[in-house]
Amino acid sequence: MTLAASPTDDAATTAGTGERALVTGGALTPEDLGTVPVELIERIRGAKRVMTVCHRDPEPDALGSALGNALIVEALGGRATAVCADPVPDAYHFLPLMDRFRTAPEPDLDPDLIIVGDCGELARVGRVLDDHAELFSRVPIVNINHHVSNIGFGAVDWVDAESAATCEQVTLLAAALSVPLDSAEGALAAQLMSGVVIDTANFQHPNTTARTLRVASALREAGAPLPEIARRLYRTKQNAQLKLFGLSLSRMVASDEGKLVWTSLMDDDFATAGASPAHSEGLIDLLAQSETAEVAIIFKESGPHTRISVRTREGGVDATVLTGTFGGGGHARASGATLEAPVADAQPLVLAEARRLIAALPDPA
What is the rounded distance in angstroms from the CA atom of residue 150 to the CA atom of residue 159? 7
Residues in the chain: 365
Residues 295-330 have pLDDT tens digits of 999 999 999 999 999 999 999 999 999 999 999 988
**Residue 263 sits in the same domain as residue 217:** no
In a domain, 16, yes or no: no
Q: Phi and psi at residue 158, in whole multiples of 5°?
A: -115, 90
Mean predicted confidence (pLDDT) in 19-29: 67
CATH number of residue 52's parent domain: 3.90.1640.10
C-alpha of 167 from chain center: 8
Residues 95-112 have pLDDT tens digits of 999 999 999 999 999 999
Q: Which domain holds residue 245?
A: 239-359
Q: Are 182 and 222 in contact (CB under 8 A)?
A: yes
Q: What is the pTM of this model?
A: 0.84
In a domain, 22, yes or no: no
- The three-state secondary structure class of 113 is strand
Mean predicted confidence (pLDDT) in 211-221: 98
What is the rounded distance in angstroms from the CA atom of residue 2 to the CA atom of residue 93? 7
Q: Are 239 and 265 in contact (CB under 8 A)?
A: no
CATH number of residue 323's parent domain: 3.10.310.30
Q: Are 329 and 147 in contact (CB under 8 A)?
A: yes
Residue of 11, 40, 29 whose CA lies nearest to 170: 40
What is the rounded distance in angstroms from the CA atom of residue 192 to the CA atom of residue 212? 12
**Residue 213 sits in the same domain as residue 345:** no
Residue 26: what pLDDT? 78
**Residue 273 sits in the same domain as residue 196:** no
Q: How many domains does the chain have?
A: 2
Q: Does 24 have pLDDT greater than 90?
A: no
What is the rounded distance in angstroms from the CA atom of residue 32 to the CA atom of residue 216? 13
In a domain, 339, yes or no: yes
